[in-house]
Structure 1
Amino acid sequence: MRYAFVDESYSRDRYFVGAYVVREDQLAIVKKAVHTALRYAEGFGVHAAAELHGYEIMSGKDAWSPLRGKARAALSVYRRALAEIAAVPGARAFVEGVDIPRLNARYRYPQAPHQIALRHLLERLNEYASRVGDRVVVIADEVPDQQAHAMRMASYQSLTTGGYKPRKLARIEFPITFGKSAESPGIQCADMIVYLYRRVDAHEHLDDRAARSARELWTETHPLRPSARRWDP
C-alpha cells in the first residue's frame, strides 16, 4: 500500500495541489526525517514543536519567527528539510496546478480551482499506482467543505472523473481522509514540496534572487523524481 499525503498552495493566479507518496512501511522513516529537519532548525532558535510549513519558513511567520529577516538561515533550513524528505527510499512527489485567470476566461461557470487540481492529482496518483501494481491511501490537509470534496472524489471511482479523458480511479482508496498537518509529518512534507513548486512556477513574479533561490532549492527534490504540471485552459 502507498500513502499519498496531499496539501495545496495558491496565489491569485495559480492553484497547485501536491502529493508526497511513500510506502506504508516507510511511514516511520518519514516521521524521523521530519524530526531530523526540525532538530536542525532548532540550531537557528526555532522551537522543537514547530511544523514544517514552506510559507512560514520563508517569511519568518508564527513558530518560524526566529528566521524573520534571515534569508540565508531560512534557505538553509528549507534545504535541509527537503534533503531529509527526498532521502526516504522510493518516495515520489506529484504536483498538479491550474492557471486561474485562464480558467475563468475560458469557462462561464468554471469549477473551483482546488477541485480541478485535486482531480488531476488523483488521476496522476491512480496512473502511478497502476504502474507499480499497488493501491493508494490519500491523506489530505484539512480544507473548507472537505466532506463535500470527499463525496465528490469518491464518485470518481464508481463513475468517472469526467473532463477530456474521463477515467475511473480504481487504484485510489476512498473516502479520502482529511487530517491536521500537526499530526501528520507526511502532510508537512507535501506542504514543503507544493509551496516551493508554486514559487518556482511564479518565477516571472519574483525578483532574480528569489527566483534563483527557488530553482536551486527545487534541485533538492530530484531524488523524488517529481512530476509537476500546470493546466492552462
Structure 2
Amino acid sequence: MLFAFIDESYTKDRYYVAAVLVDADDLRALSAAVARSAEYAAGYGVELGTEFHAHSIMSGRDGWEPVQGKPRAAIAIYRDLLRELSGLPVSIYIEGVDVPRLNARYRYPDPPHLVTLRHVLEDLQQAAAMRGDQVIVICDEVTDQEAHSKKFGEYQLIGTPGYRSTTLSRIEQFMFADSRQSPGLQFADAVAYLYRRRDAHTESSARTARAVEDLWAVIRPRARKARRWDP
C-alpha cells in the first residue's frame, strides 16, 4: 500500500499542489525524519512539537518566533527538513497552474485548486499503476474539502476530464487530515511552498534567490514531476 500526502501553496496568479508519495512500510521513517528535524530546530530555541509550516518558519510566527528576523537560521532549519525528506524513499509530484491564463482560456473554468489537485491525482494514479499497488491519499484540511470529496467521487464514476481521463481506480481512499498531526503533510507543505516561492515569486535580493535554488537542489532528486500548466 502507498500513501500520498498532499498540500497546496498559491498566490493570486499561481496555484500549486504538491504530493509526497511513500510506501506504507516507510511511514515510520517519515515520522522519525520529522522528529530529527524537530530536534535540530530545538537547537535554535524552537519548542519541540511545533508544526513544520514553511511560511511560519520563514516569517517567524506560530511557534517559530525564535528565528524571527534570523533568515540564516530559518533557512538552515528548512534545509535540514528537506534533507531529511530527500534521504527517504519518497517520490514528489508537483502540479501548478497559471490562474489568469486559466480564466482567460475557459468561459467557466474550474477553480485552480481543483485543477491542480486533479492533475496530481492523475499523477498518483499512474505512479500506483506502474507499481501495481493502491494508494491512500491524505490532503491537508481546507474549507472546501467537501466539494473536493464530491468531485473525487464523480471522477471515480465517470473519469477525470481531459486527455489523461481516468477513474482513479488505484486510489483506494481520499481523505483530509490535520497537518499538525501528520508528518507527511508537513513535508508536503514544505515542498509546495518552496516550489511556489521558486516559480511564482521574484526575489528582491540575489542572496535570497540563491538560497531558494539551493533549497530546491536538495529536494530535486526526489521530484518525479514538477510543472506549471499555462493554459
TM-score band, normalised by shorter chain = over 0.9
Q: Which residue of 2 aligns with 1:10?
A: 10
| Contact 2:11-2:200 within 8 A present in 1 as well | no
Q: Which residue of 2 aligns with 1:54?
A: 54
Q: Which residue of 1 aligns with 2:199?
A: 201
Amino acid corresponding to residue 53 of structure 1 in structure 2? H
With over 3 angstroms needed to count, the CA separation of the structure-2 counterparts of 1:85 and 1:146, relative to structure 1, is same
Amino acid corresponding to residue 4 of structure 2 in structure 1? A
Residue 130 of structure 1: how far off its partner (Å) = 1.2
Is 1:93 equivalent to 2:87 in the alignment? no
* SS of equivalent residue, structure 1 residue 69: coil
Q: Which residue of 2 aligns with 1:225?
A: 223
List structure 1 segments (4+ residues) > 3 angstroms apart after TM superposition: 203-207
CA RMSD of aligned residues (A): 1.3
Partner Cα distance (2:101, 2:203) in 1 = 17
Residue 108 of structure 1: how far off its partner (Å) = 2.2
* SS of equivalent residue, structure 1 residue 63: coil
Which digits, 9 at most, give the CA deviation of each residue in 1:120-174, with x for residues without a partner? 0000111111111111100000011212211211221221101233222111113
Return 5+ residue gaps in structure 1 as ranges: none
| Contact 2:122-2:164 within 8 A present in 1 as well | no
| Contact 1:87-1:223 within 8 A present in 2 as well | no
Amino acid corresponding to residue 109 of structure 2 in structure 1? P
Q: Which residue of 2 aligns with 1:136?
A: 135
Which digits, 9 at most, give the CA deviation of each residue in 1:187-217, with x for residues without a partner? 0010011110111112535532222211110
* SS of equivalent residue, structure 2 residue 95: strand
Which TM-score applies when normalising by structure 1?
0.95
Partner Cα distance (2:224, 2:194) in 1 = 12
Question: Which is further off, 59-68 or 161-170?
Answer: 161-170
Identity across matched positions, percent: 48
Partner Cα distance (1:223, 1:33) in 2 = 17
Which TM-score applies when normalising by structure 2?
0.96
